[in-house]
A and B are shown apart, each in its own frame.
Chain A
Amino acid sequence: DGGITQSPKYLFRKEGQNVTLSCEQNLNHDAMYWYRQDPGQGLRLIYYSQIVNDFQKGDIAEGYSVSREKKESFPLTVTSAQKNPTAFYLCASSRDRAQPQHFGDGTRLSIL
């Protein structure tokens, strides 16, 4: 079955630590996205990538970094510079930026 796989489902970060969230898709989509979801708020875009080796900042990129070395993979690193990282992180993909997005089942990040 085609889809988007995010791992791990739950992740804990210690102070001063960087953590990386995995996102893999086998839908052959060109565009991939990372969102942050906080209670009572809409999804906020962190980074997006339209093609391999290219990515753009979204509305809340500070404290995060990404890479897009393969079409299938778009990992997100939450750095120690992100002072409020506790949230539900969602990865999505689409054929191109004009098409509807399809989502993985998210990673919940908490602070130890």
Chain B
Amino acid sequence: QKEVEQDPGPLSVPEGAIVSLNCTYSNSAFQYFMWYRQYSRKGPELLMYTYSSGNKEDGRFTAQVDKSSKYISLFIRDSQPSDSATYLCAMSADYQLIWGAGTKLIIKP
């Protein structure tokens, strides 16, 4: 079993919909949680960075961490075609990041 599980998709939704992206993990020691967005043939770009449990909001993006369920989510409101990309979760207990495989998201105009 992988330490971090992420559905590879693709996830296809119409423009304007609310998108929910998720990762599950097995290591209860993880404390730092990140979401990155990666466009094709580009490097990952940091979207959200949270420590421990709770919610964090930044514009149309909300990150949620539920440590009791070992589950993190990224919500995108009012999704746009420019949000079409691969979304990677990453987490760490100390310093080494453990990565999900990424979910490919397609927003249909």
Contacts and interface: CB of A to CB of B under 8 A. Distances in A.
Contacts of A105: 41-43
Contacts, number: 45
A2 to B, nearest CB: 14
Interface residues of B, number: 23
Interface in B4-48: 4, 6, 8, 32, 34, 36, 41-46
A104 B44 CA distance: 8
Interface stretch (A35-43, A60-68, A72-80): A35-43
A104 B38 CA distance: 11
Nearest to B2: A42
B101 A90 contact: no
A41 B101 contact: yes
Nearest to A92: B43
A100 interface: yes
A58 B87 CA distance: 23
Main secondary structure of the interface of A (DSSP, over half): loop
A96 B46 CA distance: 16
A44 B96 CA distance: 11
Given A97-B95, A98-B95, A100-B49, A42 B101 contact: yes
Nearest to A59: B96
Nearest to B89: A42
Interface in B33-69: 34, 36, 41-46, 49
Contact of A42 (B32, B43, B95, B102): B102
A41 B101 CA distance: 5
Nearest to A88: B41
Contacts of A104: 43
User: Which residue among A6, A100, A104 has the maximum number of chain B CB atoms within 10 Å of its CB?
Assistant: A100
Contacts of A102: 46
A4 B95 CA distance: 21
